Amino acid sequence: MESSIHTNLNHLFRREYGKLIASLTKTFGTHNLALVEDVVQDTLLKALETWKLKGIPDNPSAWLFTVARNKALDLIRRQKHQQAFAAQLTPLLKSEYTAAATLQEIVKDGNIEDEQLRMMFVCCHPLLAEETQVALILKTLCGFSIAEIASAFLTSEETISKRLFRGREKFREEKITFDLPVEKELPERLESVLTAIYLLFNEGYHATHVAGIIRDDLVEEALRLGNLLRYNTSTDTTATKALLALMCFHAARLYQRIDENGSLLALKDQDRTKWNHALIVQGHYFLKLASSGESITAYHLEAAIAYEYSVAPSYELTNWKQIDELYKSLLKLKPLPLLEFQHTIVKAECYGYAQGLDELLRLEASGLFSRNHFFYTTKGEWLSKLNQKKEAEESLLKASELAHTKAEKNFILKKIVSLGY
C-alpha cells in the first residue's frame, strides 16, 4: 500500500508540481518564489501523510490544488501586514472580504496551461544567466532535485544550489513580474525553455538517480510541455517542431531499451519490430514541418540524426556516413563535449575502433568525463574489440563503480563476464 502511494505521488508530483508553482507564483509574485516552493512542498507532504491513512482520493489533482490554496490563504492571513504579494493582487489578498475569492479564482485545477507557459518564460528573464534560467525551470516547473540538475549540467550540487539562490534573489531584487516577454525577447527566451524541456526528456529517457533506467512520467511531461509550446502561436517555431521530432524519435524506442528482466539493452540488440512506429511517423511529420523554415538549429540536426537511427533496417545497415556528416554540422552549431563523445562513437563505426579509441583518449585527457560511466563502458568495449582484455576490464570496472542504477551495473557486468578470462 505504502509503495503504491509513493509511486502514485511521485507521478503526481511531476505532473502537478509545475502547475501549482505557476498558479501560486501568479498569486505571490516572483519575488516570493522560495515561499511558493515551500507551500507546494508542504502540500505534497500533506498528501503523503493523508493518503497513507485514507488512500488516494478520486481526484488527486483537485485535492492538491485545494490544499495548496488553503495553505496559501492561511499564509496570506498571517503575513498580510508584513508581506508584499503580486503587485496587482496585493490589495485584494490583504482584504478579508476578497482574499479567499481571489485565490479561488487563480489557484484552481485545470485551465492553467497559459500560466505554466508564462512561468517558463519568466524563468528565462534576460537578467538571469542562461544556466540559471534552465536550472530554475527544471527545479520550479519540473520538480527536479538538485542532484538531477547537477547531473544534467555535468557540475556539482553546490554549484546548482548557488545558481538557484542567485536566480531567486534576482527575482526579488529586480522585481521581475509574472508577465510574458515582449515579442522581440521571445526567441532568446524560447531557446532556454527548449533546453530545459530537452534536459527533462533526457532524464526520463535515461534516469540517473533512481532504481529504474526509464522514467516515463518525465518523458510524458517533456512531450506535454513541448506540445504546449506547439499550440501557442507565439512559440510554435521551427525549433519547437524540431525538438518535438527529436523527442518522438527517441520515445519510439523507449521501452525496447530494457529487456523483460529490467536489464539495459544496447541499440544493436533491440527488437526494431517492437519500436513505436506511430511515434516515428509523428516525428517525421514534425521534422518535415520544422524543415519549412529558413534557419537550421541544433534540434534540426539532432532530430535528423535520430531519424537515421529510427529508419535503419538494422544496426549494421545504419547510414553511419550520413550520421557522421550530420554530427560535423551539429558540432559547428553546438560544440559540446558530450556531443563530441557521441560523434566519436559514430566515427568508430565509420572508420574503426582503433581511431575511435584514439579520439576517446583525447577526450579523457580533458577530465570532463571522469564521472561518466557511459564513457568508460564505451572505452572498455572498444579495448575488448582490439583484444586489450586487461585494459578493457579496468575500464569496465571503473564504469561499474560510476553507474547510478542497478540496470546499468548489470549491463556493464555482462560485458566484464563476456571478456572470458
C-alpha cell at 95: 482584504
C-alpha cell at 5: 502511494
Residues 6 or more apart in contact with residue 104 via CB below 8 angstroms: 69
Same domain, 127 and 107: no
DSSP character at residue 196: H
Tell me the residue range of the domain where 56 lies. Answer: 1-111
- Centroid of chain to Cα 120: 13
CB 154 within 8 A of CB 47: no
Same domain, 230 and 119: yes
Same domain, 81 and 157: no
Same domain, 71 and 161: no
Q: CA angle 234-237-240, nearest 5°?
A: 110
Using pLDDT thresholds of 50, 70 and 90, give the confidence band for residue 92.
very low
Tell me what pLDDT residue 76 has.
Answer: 67
Residues 6 or more apart in contact with residue 88 via CB below 8 angstroms: none
Same domain, 97 and 123: no
Same domain, 64 and 142: no
Could you give the 3-state DSSP secondary structure of residue 258? strand
Q: In the chain, how many domains are there?
A: 3
**b/e code 243-258 from CB counts within 10 Å (16+ = b):** bbbbbbbbbbbbebbb
**Amino acid type, 11:** H
Evaluate whether residue 301 is within a structural domain.
Answer: no
Tell me what pLDDT residue 75 has.
Answer: 74
Convert the pLDDT of each residue in 66-86 to its tens digit.
888 778 777 767 765 455 555
Same domain, 117 and 163: yes
Evaluate whether residue 34 is within a structural domain.
Answer: yes
Tell me what pLDDT residue 237 has.
Answer: 92
Convert the pLDDT of each residue in 182-208 to its tens digit.
777 777 788 888 988 898 888 778 755
Evaluate whether residue 263 is within a structural domain.
Answer: no
Residue 242: Cβ-neighbour burial (10 angstroms; 0-12, 13-18, 19+): buried
Evaluate whether residue 275 is within a structural domain.
Answer: no
Could you give the 3-state DSSP secondary structure of residue 248? helix
